[in-house]
Structure 1
Amino acid sequence: MASDEHTAQDQASVIAADTSHPTKALHSRAFLDAVVESVPAMLVVKDGKDGRFVLINRTGEELLGVPREMLIGRSDADFFPADQAAAFAEMDRRVLDSDRVWVIDEEPLSTPHNGDRWLQTKKIAIPGEGDEKLLLIVSEDITERKKSAAALEAALQSAQAASIAKTEFLANMSHEIRTPLNGVLGMAQVLAQTELTARQREMMDVILNSGRVLNALLSDILDLAKVEAGEVEVETAPFSLRTSIGASAATFEGLAHQKGLTFSLDFGPGFQDRVVGDALKLSQIVNNLISNAVKFTNEGGVAVRAETRRAQDGAVELTVEVEDSGEGFSPEVQASLFERFVQGDGSITRRFGGSGLGLSIALRFAKLMDGDITCQSTPGEGATFRFTARLAPAQAEAPAPVRRAAPTPPIERLRVLFAEDHPTNQRVVELMLGETADLVVVENGEVALQAFESQTFDIVLMDTQMPVMDGLTAIRAIRAREQAQDGGRIPIISLTANAMPHQVEACLQAGADLHLAKPITVAALFESIAAAAELAAQTGEMGRAAGALSASER
């Protein structure tokens, strides 16, 4: 041990004698000054007693914009506003009393000559001569970083505002388009049920088909808006894959045969039928792929193949291939095929209609199912689209118990309260219900509320956007009166052109039992009325007095 101490002392003596040794340079005042001056941050030393500046480096001089000879020996009170100087002094006192490092992430500073700056500061007490304490302050100028963060926050808020504005615009346009479209399709359906000549029937079919295409286009645009706004969620419910895919194929099989094409649907061996997932979105994907295959094929045929396999984690991996013998497309087209508003033939002379949104939406839905959509094609030799998804297995559906049929109740005409401000839509529903119901039509929510309080109804059909009182306010008022009077709950169907997810949710939260989006069909209207009646019957509240006060209470 003594030998080690002797060696260390000898080394120290050698270093002290040799001024060229690197360690000797560390003790040089010139070297320490060079280090202080080279620090890329403001370095300040203050006297712990009175806060006078003892040392300041070049960066600090440049930041404050004051020559060092004017700073040394003076304090913060000589350069900064009184309130800011007092705040600095209070913070310095706390640091000197604590003997630990204080970190101030963001500190505003009003410099005498460089304006307002933002600093990130570290402060610590260090020993001076004797019992004196000094305060070491190291501050980094983060003004530009702060400005960048503020600009980024402003850009984010602007983007969010733009997204909200776009969503509101799409919601308003959806309402404005669906309202007249409801009149076109509704009247066409009613007219289609009358006696027509063959020529008139042909023209009516064109009107209905064109209206359905327009409605599908509107739905595509809204689906895209929902996905981009993050409003699309994947439902999880048990369903039959075979039934879902088979229904999609059956939808377009007739059209394929009309074009003289062959059409086939095959399920692989050991196909897993019952799964848990979103049947509607899966059907939308398969519908889009088969629809495109039939649309772009003029000779040959379309073949659909569906297979499943079990993954190691138990998930069901679904693969659906749709192969056609159509015109195909080039690798350049394939590279952009899943982008929005892009089609295989995008020229003004293209022969096939459509928005170019279908594949983009289908791909996004597939991604939500942990899957993908890929394609292979050669110009002139057709194309094959492959859709994959991961689904959870479901138990096989138990056979329904055999029940004795209940006696059919006598059919009774319903009294329906219908609140709708658009004359065409009033007439559409009036013609659709025909002789099956007694319809009372009102033009806004306030009149609907008055009618509800003075008459007896079996069901309410309520539009959303109306003058004087909107439909949501009217629904809430009806539910409040039911609760106050401890009366029955009348079924309410929100029959509206507002079809965005948040709008549907708003209707249900207001107290509607069902939401039916325009344009409506005769079948959808009657199905909704039946569903609302069944819902009310399940709660034991269906009847002529449902949702209304007794005669004695009026």
Structure 2
Amino acid sequence: MASDEHAPPGRDPAVAADASHPTKALHSRAFLDAVVESVPAMLVVKNGKDGRFVLVNRAGEELLGVPREALIGRNDADFFPADQAAFFAEMDRKVLDSDRVWVIDEEPLQTPHNGDRWLQTKKIAIPGEGDEKLLLIISEDITERKASAAALEAAVQNAQAASIAKTEFLANMSHEIRTPLNGVLGMAQVLAQTELTARQREMMDVILNSGRVLNALLSDILDLAKVETGEVELETVPFNLRGGLTAAAATFEGLAHQKGLTFSLDFAPGFHDRVTGDALKLGQIVNNLISNAVKFTSEGAVAVRAATRVVDETAIELTVEVQDSGEGFTPEVQASLFERFVQGDGSITRRFGGSGLGLNIALRFAKLMDGDITCQSTLGEGATFRFTARLAPALAEAPTPVRRAMPAPSSERLRVLLAEDHPTNQRVVELMLGETADLVVAENGALALEAFAGHPFDVVLMDTQMPVMDGLTAIRAIRAREQAGGGGGRIPIISLTANAMPHQVEAALEAGADLHLAKPITVAALFESIAAAADLAAQAGEAGDRLAGS
């Protein structure tokens, strides 16, 4: 047992032993001082009566830039601007009266020596000696955090502005490219229907094929912009899956045979023909995979295999494998194959053209369908691309799309109003309509309204971007006149424009157009659209009559 002579003079040995216990040591003044000094935030205690500083820790001294000896016994008015000192005093009174914790997420502070800062502050009233109240304040300096948040917000705004600018640029470039392209392809199609020699026919085929490739490239760029801006939406309509895949394969089967390749398309047993989904985008994916397989295969075979699997009563998983005996890829190329603007052969002497966008867009579409695209390849031994997607089962037989044939010339000529400011496009439409229509051309929306008021028409073809009055304004004005006239019927309006971005299509339909047809146009597409717009306008007119009579 320890002797009493070891206890400090003037202290009871039992008390000394009790004070040495760890839990008792927590109450020592030195320990509490160490805790206060170690808090990594400003800790201040004020007198509740006059607001004078009673305690300031080291972090508070550093934040305020004033020695604590100069702070103790003084109040906010001695250090801060009058308006800020008054704000602190008012807040302190509220805290003392409430007896609850007050949290100020962002509190501005004008320090005497450290400039303007931002604090996150917690305040609470605590008891002092007797009836005295003290105010405990703990403040964290969030100046850098707030600056980072502001910088991040500015960066996000700049990124959004850049994205909007890119979208607008692509939309404008689409319009500017599609306008002359419409002239090239339109005139070529009209010329192809005339008497041509074999040599002339060959040259015309080159023009048409080159134009279609250019149009496909433009569509790829626009598809990429749509996906990146979140403007792509999947359709959910019933369609014949077997028929769609067969059509996609047939597009490239002839080219494969021209290259001396063996081409095959096989469907697994139990294949589901009727599904619901986006047939167009699914076709784009399969077209891209088969096109690449044929393009990059010089000899051997291209094999396409399709299978379906029932996941549950609401989902069918489609798997399409496209295998070729081409040159294949290295692991390094495979790792970047689905990135934008990347091709299997990026050298300046590469033998195959293309933008390097197709696989990237195909993969993005596949992801939208809850699917994926993967590739397995060995250099010199070909490649196998595997595409998966989830589709819904179709409850009924998918209707076969009705393709309207171009009407033959007859005594009943169409009366067509064309609002178009570009002379080449005016001539293209005139030649495409040929003897089937009497065409009135207006160079802007205002002239189109004048023509509409003076003559009856069977259909209006309306460009969007025109001087004096744009096409959307003109469409709205035509619809307003129809409503004001009462009982005059609804004229079919087709937005015939180079504006092809989703928001531009939506704007045209919201303005009152029945259909949107993007340039460059084909003869067949023009007449199909005229017939379809007439049907839609008739249906809308009947619905309006029923609504008026109800």
TM-score (norm 1): 0.91
The 5 A counterparts of 1:207-222 are: 207-222=207-222
Superposed displacement of residue 17, structure 1: 4.4
Superposed displacement of residue 15, structure 1: 5.3
* Alignment partners' CA distance in 1, 2:280 and 2:399: 23
Aligned residue in 1 for 2:522? 521
Q: Which amino acid aligns with 2:193?
A: Q
Give per-residue Cα distances to partners, 1:41-85, cap 9 Å, x unaligned: 111111111211111111111111112222222211222222222
Is 1:495 matched with 2:527? no
Aligned residue in 1 for 2:271? 271
* Alignment partners' CA distance in 1, 2:18 and 2:505: 86
The 5 A counterparts of 1:302-313 are: 302-312=302-312
Aligned residue in 2 for 1:199? 199
Secondary structure of 2:441's counterpart equals: strand
Secondary structure of 1:280's counterpart equals: helix
Superposed displacement of residue 28, structure 1: 2.2
The 5 A counterparts of 1:129-528 are: 129-312=129-312, 314-397=314-397, 412-486=412-486, 487-528=488-529
Aligned residue in 1 for 2:546? none
Answer whether contact 2:110 2:116 (CA < 8 A) is retained: yes
Secondary structure of 1:318's counterpart equals: strand
Is 1:90 matched with 2:100? no
Q: Which amino acid aligns with 2:39?
A: V
Answer whether contact 1:15 1:23 (CA < 8 A) is retained: no
Paired residues, number: 523
Q: Which amino acid aligns with 1:480?
A: A
Superposed displacement of residue 31, structure 1: 2.1
In structure 2, the CA distance between the partners of 1:301 and 1:506, relative to structure 1 (3 Å rule), is: same
Secondary structure of 2:171's counterpart equals: helix
Give per-residue Cα distances to partners, 1:73-117, cap 9 Å, x unaligned: 221122222222222111111111111111111111111111110
* Alignment partners' CA distance in 2, 1:164 and 1:453: 38
* Alignment partners' CA distance in 2, 1:15 and 1:286: 88
* Alignment partners' CA distance in 2, 1:16 and 1:131: 32
In structure 2, the CA distance between the partners of 1:105 and 1:411, relative to structure 1 (3 Å rule), is: farther
Deviates more, 1:432-441 or 1:22-31: 22-31
Is 1:71 matched with 2:71? yes
Q: Which amino acid aligns with 1:109?
A: L
Aligned residue in 2 for 1:58? 58
Secondary structure of 1:311's counterpart equals: strand
RMSD, aligned α-carbons: 1.9
Q: Which amino acid aligns with 1:491?
A: P
* Alignment partners' CA distance in 1, 2:276 and 2:318: 12
* Alignment partners' CA distance in 1, 2:138 and 2:349: 69
Answer whether contact 2:490 2:538 (CA < 8 A) is retained: no
Q: Which amino acid aligns with 2:44?
A: V
Q: Which amino acid aligns with 1:116?
A: D
Q: Which amino acid aligns with 2:171?
A: A
Superposed displacement of residue 399, structure 1: 8.6
Q: Which amino acid aligns with 1:315?
A: A
Secondary structure of 2:257's counterpart equals: helix
Superposed displacement of residue 23, structure 1: 3.0
Structure 1: gaps (5+ residues): 1-11, 401-407, 543-554
In structure 2, the CA distance between the partners of 1:120 and 1:493, relative to structure 1 (3 Å rule), is: same
Give per-residue Cα distances to partners, 1:475-523, cap 9 Å, x unaligned: 1111122222224221110000010111111111111110000001111
* Alignment partners' CA distance in 2, 1:16 and 1:481: 102
Give per-residue Cα distances to partners, 1:136-158, cap 9 Å, x unaligned: 00001011111111111111111
* Alignment partners' CA distance in 2, 1:384 and 1:445: 53
* Alignment partners' CA distance in 2, 1:411 and 1:394: 44
Q: Which amino acid aligns with 2:521?
A: I
TM-score (norm 2): 0.92
Superposed displacement of residue 314, structure 1: 4.6
Q: Which amino acid aligns with 2:492?
A: P
* Alignment partners' CA distance in 2, 1:141 and 1:196: 82
* Alignment partners' CA distance in 2, 1:178 and 1:434: 22
Answer whether contact 1:488 1:541 (CA < 8 A) is retained: no
In structure 2, the CA distance between the partners of 1:46 and 1:529, relative to structure 1 (3 Å rule), is: same
* Alignment partners' CA distance in 1, 2:59 and 2:32: 16
* Alignment partners' CA distance in 2, 1:207 and 1:170: 25
Give per-residue Cα distances to partners, 1:186-218, cap 9 Å, x unaligned: 000011011111111000000000000000011
Secondary structure of 1:32's counterpart equals: helix
Percent of aligned pairs with the same residue? 88
Aligned residue in 1 for 2:22? 22
Answer whether contact 1:16 1:24 (CA < 8 A) is retained: no
* Alignment partners' CA distance in 2, 1:255 and 1:351: 17
* Alignment partners' CA distance in 1, 2:501 and 2:46: 63
* Alignment partners' CA distance in 1, 2:62 and 2:163: 44
* Alignment partners' CA distance in 1, 2:14 and 2:395: 86
* Alignment partners' CA distance in 1, 2:411 and 2:477: 30
* Alignment partners' CA distance in 1, 2:506 and 2:13: 85
Q: Which amino acid aligns with 1:523?
A: A
* Alignment partners' CA distance in 1, 2:509 and 2:399: 33
Answer whether contact 1:248 1:286 (CA < 8 A) is retained: yes
* Alignment partners' CA distance in 1, 2:60 and 2:433: 83
Answer whether contact 2:238 2:398 (CA < 8 A) is retained: no
Superposed displacement of residue 22, structure 1: 2.4
